A and B are shown apart, each in its own frame.
Chain A
């Protein structure tokens, strides 16, 4: 037999070496991506597993016992709900209109650049500095005291960039030809925005709103000194108080702050109470975020242009 037929298409040594190196690098990068993601999935699974002994309807609906060592998490949960709702009412109109301004009205000059820079800076300001701002501005200067409304205002200022950025991007994805067509029919600028631009970008804006909800529900530092409290004395025997335990000027319990308290502040806390609170909070946020992600995926499939 003669030698094996030489394959004319085989790479040279140099080329195989390069290919091998490429595959090594590729493997390493895949590994790096997995190192980021797998541990957190495992941890979240572990969290829910450890929390499973307490997770029940009674845990959600029940009020926290003394020092949070027993009972449920209803009061923190509803506090977080009201915090999110109030901050959303405050921030959504401003944020959406600011996004409209930046995409539709803003001239291209230094002032607009300054506004854009202010939006990015606002997003980068540490949350604890927002908390200090909340104390100086809302709690002391506007005399709101430590209250639900002061905390909601602080959260609102903090989450403006989320809504502005999402709105601006949603509006920017509406083709210019839509606007031109509308103007040519004699519509004014606001009519164009109201009847053409906003309806076509509503899902994008909604994504931003949902992201704001998830941020507001998870933040702890900004509400530390602006209204969150470790315990409230509220008798929740009747349903009305149970559903609306806090007034705007009351101090309130929030899920995120409650988690901080039960995890760090109180010794002898039963394990499952810590894990239960953490699991409810992370579950809430993951559900809200999956909603926003599926909305975006759905949106991409039915885009008309």
Chain B
């Protein structure tokens, strides 16, 4: 009898008393992500708030005149068009490089590679994802820059092309892993049906898998864009950090122009500001722009991916 009583109490009582406490800890931790996202918005807006009403938004978005510390007697000017162009240009050019490479690698890994090759490629791509952005910046600045100077015969090796290649290599692992998930989510019966009808593997890919997985592939590319917009250190070190807006955006020579991205502006100018002055607050305004872009991209691609999952079930 006594033994049975002991057995019954063994698992229970002591831990039971702790359980409500632990449960509340788990609930609070579970909600913490939402709390942190709200906190990020709150603190970024809080620091930017005093200047939000004073910003000349037309000039901020459309004028390339970023002079936070003007010569004596002049008004500072905050026209961020040059940086918006820089971020846009790096994103577009890097996606031109990353999307074909990333999608091809994802298709190869998921549809063509033998299991061993597949496993090796996945591990290598994972290593690629692990390389920190400061190392990419270092590669752009110290290795690729001088290489470009030599090969292309230009004066400055850090430019739009350099930054875009570096950002593309950083975005590729993300694109590969999300696209591969999307391709794997397509039921095998689709592939079997197409093969039975006499399609080659490539026809299966572009006639069957592309249409079936297109939203997943789209989401992968969107997340790649988000990565490119938000990248800081690599862009800062490899882009040359000079605001340039070319007259003709279809002139290929602009690839070798130096550009300046929004992220790099914050990183490079923050140490020169005093907490609370206008320049400091304007950098938080740029932060709001970046935050909004990234949250919109993430929420939309999340909805796209979830939509696919629900449809396949």
Interface residues in chain A, defined as those with a beta carbon under 8 Å from any beta carbon in chain B: 18-19, 21-22, 25-26, 28-30, 32-33, 35-37, 39-41, 43, 46-47, 93-98, 100-102, 105-106, 114-133, 135-137, 140-141, 157, 160-161, 164, 186-191, 194, 214-215, 217-221, 224-225, 256-257, 259-260, 263-264, 274-275, 278, 281-282, 285-286, 289, 293
With known contacts A124-B298, A128-B230, A191-B15, A22–B237 Cβ distance under 8 A: no
- Docked CA distance A43–B141 (Å): 13
Assess whether A93 is in contact with B29, with CB atoms less than 8 Å apart: yes
> Quick one: which of A22, A114, A118, A191 has the most chain B CB within 10 A?
A118
> How many inter-chain residue pairs (CB < 8 Å) link A and B?
266
Q: Is B22 interfacial (CB 8 A cutoff)?
A: yes
Q: Are B33 and A160 in contact (CB under 8 A)?
A: yes
- Cβ contact within 8 Å between B126 and A136: no
State whether B233 touches A32 (Cβ < 8 A). no
CB distance from B312 to the nearest CB of A (A): 17
**With a CB–CB cut-off of 8 A, which chain B residues contact A43?**
139, 143
- State whether B233 touches A122 (Cβ < 8 A): no
Query: Which residue in chain A gives the minimum CB-CB distance to B40?
Result: A133
A95 to B130, CA, bound (A): 20
Contact B132 A37 (CB under 8 A): no
**Distance between Cα atoms of A115 and B263 in the complex (Å):** 27
Interface contact A161-B33, CB-CB below 8 Å? yes
Assuming A98-B30, A127-B230, is B169 touching A40 (CB within 8 A)?
A: yes
Residue of B30, B138, B142, B299 near A101 (CB, 8 A) is B30
For A119, give the chain B residue with the smallest CB separation. Answer: B33
- Contact residues on B (Cβ < 8 Å of other chain), bracket: 35 or more
Q: In the complex, A39 Cα to B294 Cα: how many Å? A: 29
Q: Is the interface of A mostly helix, strand, loop or mixed?
A: helix
28 A-B contact pairs sorted by A residue (CB < 8 Å): A25-B205, A26-B202, A32-B100, A36-B125, A36-B128, A94-B32, A96-B29, A100-B30, A101-B30, A102-B30, A117-B299, A118-B36, A121-B294, A122-B37, A135-B47, A136-B43, A157-B40, A188-B19, A190-B19, A190-B22, A215-B132, A224-B271, A225-B270, A256-B134, A259-B135, A263-B142, A275-B142, A278-B138
Q: Are the CB atoms of A126 and B33 closer together than 8 Å?
A: no
With contacts A136-B43, A263-B138 known, what are 9 further pairs, Cβ within 8 A?
A40-B169, A100-B30, A120-B298, A120-B302, A125-B295, A127-B232, A129-B294, A191-B15, A218-B131
**How would residues 251 to 277 of chain B score, 1 for a CB under 8 Å from any chain A CB and 0 otherwise?**
000000000000100110011000100
In contact, A118 and B34 (Cβ under 8 angstroms): yes
Determine which of A47, A100, A126, A135 lies in contact with B26 in the assembled complex, contact meaning CB atoms within 8 Å. Answer: A100
